[in-house]
């Protein structure tokens, strides 16, 4: 065995075997963890382990470039110097630790997202303070790191004889150069010839995910996080897409403003007097519909929301546009379908857009975005400040008013205390107020002040949900004593669901969220069961207030939309879904477009024959939204034009 590694690159071959072994164990562990969500069968196993090995080797070709360069550059007299072997052993400990640390990271990422590393993992690296803090608060990180260190030391010590075998042979630059050329050619060929989507051979998303390699997926996501629609997705001729979408946009009280085929502007005009009511929009972190009793939950974790749902207007067939907070913020602020890649909230040049805040501002409202964390996270400060909102974040909340905080922000009750103060300030000016409040407590590590609910802090998701529910109910109770309460509409809606993983790439059941419009004096208790998209909530809210304005929103006022025209949008950072008439059109980044019959219970989807008209409608929404964003079609209209 020792003879196999009696070569200058022997340490690399040895670490490669460990790399492949760790990758195999990781894949096997994730397969076992996923369980019955993966259909058993030889074909699936061959893909998972056969194609998986291919991606492991490709990942290794990238991963070991620094080591290959190091082994080439070290002079032979230094390399064979006896004390140098201890340096090599120390380096081996570090390499093994990185492999094991990555495996542990993949396990926790899969536990959270049901996926290998993807666009989210890349995104999180930008916000290391919050993310590292969240990991420290959620997991016994000291114990984990200690265990990984000991295991790395043990493995390195156990293979030391094979590792040091390379010290007993002479090596010359000419011979090493041939091997280096080979080792550098492999990743170059992989970069040029292998597409990360090669693993997507199965209809089961988990099979495809397990066929990949976490390290490779991470860098592929980093390289592909900006996806140009026209380049990657099935498209229509632009004029056809715009004409088709314009035909779908108009409603009885929202008519197209011009004959320009590229103009999506509509004139929204309702008869009667506008209702200058205050609005507090609460976007709730990770609030899946199935947490509430109305949607079948029997654990009693949302008693306050269940009560508000019975006293207000509850949307029972509403779908989030994406799987992250920035997608929810995008939908609620801009009323635009989710374009592929980054959310608009995080893109450059995203100011001056047609936003809900700007509409309220043009009507003379005080407009605020209130967040319990630091608003630089996810670019929230820049986005909201650039689109008509005054931002109030963690910096504005003094320490003496904080009962509890995590790395994500203060406890929701403290956030709502700040929101009450902001509403009081607005009321004192004599102006109506629009305020969007973003919660954080329903997020790992699920910690909150003790004594609020009957579930101990840091015991899991249900505690986080129930505490946020308590905080919302407590906020409404406290607000009821304020002079502005009677003329305020509270909108409570999730930013996205708690989990987006399922048997298909776009499991429709995972995107269902609740929304409640609550205003005892102005809104009668009711349920609204028509299919609704998250992007429909802004124009629906403005319709309830009877506002007239020029609009570049792409959502509908659902109470002004004729029956039969309902649709919804769901997405990942790559796959775009269009839901209508019980069918789902999925648009993928390889110009593929497929129609499915989605299950609303288990997340599966059955492929259907093509439906050209339905697919063309789906394309028109996404293609036009992407084009409009890049060509000024979603920009704010001149303020003097807001009164049609």
Q: What's the pTM value of the predicted model, to 2 decimals? A: 0.80
> Strand pairing of 576-580 and 266-268?
unpaired
**C-alpha angle 252-317-319 in degrees, rounded to nearest 5:** 90
For residues 208 and 236, state if they share a domain. no
- Cβ atoms of 557 and 568 closer than 8 Å: no
Report the 10 Å Cβ neighbour count for 255: 13
644 vs 635: CA distance, rounded Å: 17
> Is there a single domain that holds both residue 247 and residue 212?
no
Closest to 278 in 3D by CA, of 353, 335, 363, 358: 363
Query: 316's torsion region: left (phi>0), alpha (psi -120 to 50) or beta?
Result: alpha
- pLDDT for residue 494 is more than 60: yes
Strands 532-533 and 366-371 come out as unpaired
**263 and 168 share a domain?**
no
Average pLDDT over residues 53-75: 95
Domain encompassing residue 182: 2-223
- Helix pair 10-34, 84-113: axis angle to 10 deg: 20
| Spatial separation of the C-alpha atoms in residues 59 and 11, rounded to whole Å | 17
Cα(492)–Cα(438) distance, integer angstroms: 10
Taking a C-beta distance cutoff of 8 angstroms, is the pair 323, 496 a contact?
yes
Q: For the domain that residue 509 is a member of, what is the CATH number? A: 3.40.720.10
Q: CA angle 557-562-565, nearest 5°?
A: 90
What per-residue confidence (pLDDT) applies to 137? 83
pLDDT digit string (tens) for 170-182?
Answer: 999 999 999 999 9
Residue 195 tokens, joined: 């597409």
Instruction: Evaluate if residue 639 carries a pLDDT over 60.
Output: no
Helix (H) or strand (E) holding 565: none
HEC string of 598-636? ECCCCCCEEEECCCHHHHHHHHHHHHHHHHHHHCCCCEC
**In this predicted structure, which of 212-216, 430-434, 493-497, 640-644 has the lowest mean pLDDT?**
640-644
Question: pLDDT above 90 covers what percent of the chain?
Answer: 80
464 burial type by CB count under 10 A (0-12 exposed, 13-18 middle, 19+ buried): buried
Rounded Cα distance between 570 and 150, Å, is 44
- Quickly state the pLDDT bin for 356 (edges 50, 70, 90): very high
The span from the CA of 541 to the CA of 567, in Å, is 18
> Are 28 and 153 within one domain?
yes
Residues 234 and 586 sit within 8 Å (Cβ to Cβ):
no
Could you give the CA distance from residue 566 to residue 437 in angstroms, rounded to a whole number? 28
245 and 269 housed in the same domain: yes
Q: Please indicate, yes or no, whether residues 398 and 547 belong to a single structural domain of this protein.
A: yes
Q: Are 354 and 539 contacting, i.e. CB atoms less than 8 angstroms apart?
A: no
On whether both 417 and 529 belong to a single domain, the answer is yes
Residue 442 burial (CB < 10 Å; 0-12/13-18/19+)? buried
C-alpha span between 488 and 427 (Å, rounded): 11
Q: Which pLDDT score, from 0 to 100, does residue 225 have?
A: 60
Tell whether 477 and 417 lie within a shared domain. Answer: yes
CA–CA separation, 443 and 91 (whole Å) = 37
**What is the pLDDT confidence band of residue 224, given thresholds at 50, 70 and 90?**
low
Residue with tokens 């101990």: 456
Token reading at 543: 């319709």
- Of 253, 318, 198, give the one whose Cα is nearest residue 551: 253
pLDDT of residue 227: 67
Q: Dig out the tokens for 573 from the structure.
A: 């950072």
| 488 and 559 part of one domain | yes
Among candidate residues 189, 223, 257, the one where a domain is terminated? 223
**Which band of pLDDT confidence, cut at 50, 70 and 90, is reported for residue 444?**
confident
SS3 569: strand
Alpha-carbon distance 199 to 214, whole Å? Answer: 13
Contact yes or no for 575/303 (Cβ under 8 A) = no
Q: Are residues 100 and 206 in the same domain?
A: yes
Residue in the structure block whose two tokens are 């076992």: 32
Widest Cα–Cα separation across the chain: 92
Segment holding 576, helix H or strand E = strand 576-580
Least Cα distance to 439 among 404, 463, 468 occurs for 468
- CA angle, 152 then 154 then 157, to 5°: 105
- Same domain for 446 and 486, yes or no, is yes
Distance CA 265, CA 328 (A): 23
Please give the Cα distance from 321 to 331 (Å, whole number).
7
Q: What letters, b where the CB count within 10 A reaches 16 and e where it falls short, cover 534-550?
A: bbbbbbbbbbbbebbbb
Q: Say yes or no to pLDDT of 4 above 90.
A: no
- 573 band by pLDDT with thresholds 50, 70 and 90: confident
Least confident of 116-120, 142-146, 488-492: 116-120
Flag whether pLDDT at 258 surpasses 50. yes
Higher-pLDDT residue of 220, 72: 72
Domain boundary among 200, 223, 246: 223
The domain boundary, picked from 201, 223, 245, lies at 223
pLDDT digits (tens, 9 = 90+) for 382-414: 999 999 999 999 999 999 999 999 989 999 999
| pLDDT number for residue 127 | 61
pLDDT score of 204 more than 80: yes
Bigger pLDDT: 360 vs 444? 360
Distances in Å between the Cα of 72 and the Cα atoms of 98, 167, 169, 171, 180 are 22, 14, 14, 9, 7
Q: Does the pLDDT of residue 487 top 80, yes or no? A: yes
Report the alpha-carbon distance of residue 241 to residue 463 in Å, rounded: 46
Looking from the CA of 527 toward its CB, the CA atoms found within 13 Å total 9
Sort strands 532-533 and 549-551 into parallel, antiparallel or unpaired.
Answer: unpaired
Is the pLDDT at 324 greater than 50, yes or no? yes
- In this predicted structure, the answer to whether residue 131 has a pLDDT above a threshold of 80 is no
Q: What is the pLDDT of residues 76-116, one digit of tens each?
A: 999 999 999 999 999 999 999 999 999 999 998 888 777 88
3-state SS record for 390-439: EEECHHHCCHHHCCCEECCEECHHHHHHHHHHHHHHHHHCCCCEEEEEEC
Percent of the chain with pLDDT over 70: 96
DSSP for 48-90, please give it: IIIIHHHHHHHHHHHHTHHHHHHHHHS-HHHHTSTTHHHHHHH
Mean pLDDT of the chain: 93
265, 383, 612, 618 from 236: Cα distances, Å: 21, 31, 12, 11
In the chain, the number of structural domains is 2
CA 1 to each of CA 151, 168, 345: distance values in angstroms, whole numbers, following the listed order: 22, 15, 56
Closest CA to 433 of 370, 381, 478, 387: 370
Residue 541 has pLDDT above 80, yes or no: yes
631 and 549, same domain (yes or no):
yes
> Higher-confidence residue: 102 or 3?
102
CA distances from 518 to 309, 314, 522, 561 (A): 8, 9, 8, 21
The dihedral sign for the CA sequence 336, 338, 340, 343? positive
Instruction: Specify whether the CB–CB gap between 393 and 382 falls below 8 A.
Output: no
The pLDDT value recorded for residue 391 is: 97
Q: What's the rounded mean pLDDT across residues 9-38?
A: 94
Cross-strand partners of 517: 313, 491
Q: Evaluate if residue 1 carries a pLDDT over 70.
A: no
* Per-residue pLDDT at 640 exceeds 50: no
């Amino acid at each position: 065995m020792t003879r196999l590694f009696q070569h200058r690159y022997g340490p690399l071959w040895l670490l490669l075997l460990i790399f492949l072994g760790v990758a195999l164990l990781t894949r096997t562990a994730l397969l076992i963890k996923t369980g019955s969500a993966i259909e058993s069968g030889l074909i699936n196993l061959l893909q998972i382990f056969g194609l998986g090995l291919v991606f492991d080797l490709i990942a290794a070709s990238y991963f070991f470039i620094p080591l290959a360069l190091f082994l080439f550059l070290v002079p032979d007299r230094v390399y064979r110097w006896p004390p140098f072997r201890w340096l090599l052993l120390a380096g081996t400990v570090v390499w093994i630790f990185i492999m094991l640390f990555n495996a542990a990271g993949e396990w926790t990422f899969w536990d959270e997202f049901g996926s290998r590393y993807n666009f989210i993992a890349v995104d999180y690296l930008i916000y290391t303070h919050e993310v590292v803090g969240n990991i420290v608060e959620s997991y016994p990180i000291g114990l984990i790191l200690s265990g990984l260190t000991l295991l790395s030391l043990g493995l390195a010590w156990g293979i030391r004889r094979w590792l040091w075998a390379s010290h007993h042979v002479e090596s010359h630059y000419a011979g090493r150069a041939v091997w280096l050329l080979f080792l550098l050619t492999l990743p170059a060929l992989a970069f040029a010839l292998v597409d990360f989507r090669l693993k997507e051979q199965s209809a089961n998303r988990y099979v495809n995910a397990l066929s990949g390699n976490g390290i490779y997926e991470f860098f592929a996501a980093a390289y592909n996080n900006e996806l140009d629609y026209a380049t990657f997705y099935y498209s229509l001729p632009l004029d056809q897409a715009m004409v088709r979408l314009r035909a779908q946009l108009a409603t009885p009280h929202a008519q197209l403003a011009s004959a320009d085929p590229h103009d999506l502007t509509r004139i929204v005009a309702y008869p009667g007097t506008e209702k200058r009511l205050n609005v507090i929009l609460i976007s709730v972190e990770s609030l899946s519909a199935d947490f509430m009793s109305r949607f079948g939950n029997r654990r009693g974790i949302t008693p306050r929301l269940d009560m508000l749902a019975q006293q207000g207007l509850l949307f029972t067939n509403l779908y989030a546009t994406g799987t992250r907070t920035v997608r929810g913020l995008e939908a609620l602020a801009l009323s635009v379908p989710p374009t592929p890649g980054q959310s608009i909230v995080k893109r450059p040049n995203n100011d001056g857009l047609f936003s809900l805040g700007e509409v309220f501002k043009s009507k003379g409202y005080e407009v605020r975005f209130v967040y319990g964390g630091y608003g630089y996270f996810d670019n929230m400060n820049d986005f909201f400040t650039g689109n008509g909102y005054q931002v109030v974040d963690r910096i504005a909340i003094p320490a003496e008013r904080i009962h509890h905080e995590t790395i994500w922000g203060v406890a929701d009750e403290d956030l709502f205390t700040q929101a009450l103060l902001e509403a009081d300030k607005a009321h004192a000016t004599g102006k109506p107020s629009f305020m969007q409040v973003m919660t954080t407590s329903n997020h790992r590590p699920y910690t909150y002040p003790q004594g609020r609910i009957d579930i101990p802090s840091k015991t899991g998701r249900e505690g986080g949900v129930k505490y946020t529910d308590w905080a919302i109910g407590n906020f409404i109770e406290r607000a009821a004593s304020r002079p502005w309460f009677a003329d305020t509409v509270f909108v409570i809606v999730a930013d996205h669901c708690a989990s987006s993983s399922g048997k298909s790439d776009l499991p429709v059941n995972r995107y269902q969220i609740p929304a409640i419009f609550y205003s005892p004096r102005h809104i009668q208790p009711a349920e609204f069961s028509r299919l609704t998209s998250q992007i429909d909530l802004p124009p629906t809210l403005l319709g309830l207030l009877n506002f007239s304005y020029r609009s570049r929103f792409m959502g509908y006022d659902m109470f002004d939309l004729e029956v039969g025209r309902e649709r919804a949008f769901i997405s990942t950072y790559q796959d775009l879904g269009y839901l209508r008439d019980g069918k789902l059109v999925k648009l993928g980044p390889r110009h593929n477009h497929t129609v499915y019959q989605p299950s609303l219970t288990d997340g599966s989807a059955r492929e259907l024959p093509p439906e050209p008209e339905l697919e063309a409608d789906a394309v028109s929404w996404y293609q036009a939204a992407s084009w409009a964003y890049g060509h000024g079609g979603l920009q704010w209209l001149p303020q003097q034009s807001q009164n049609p």
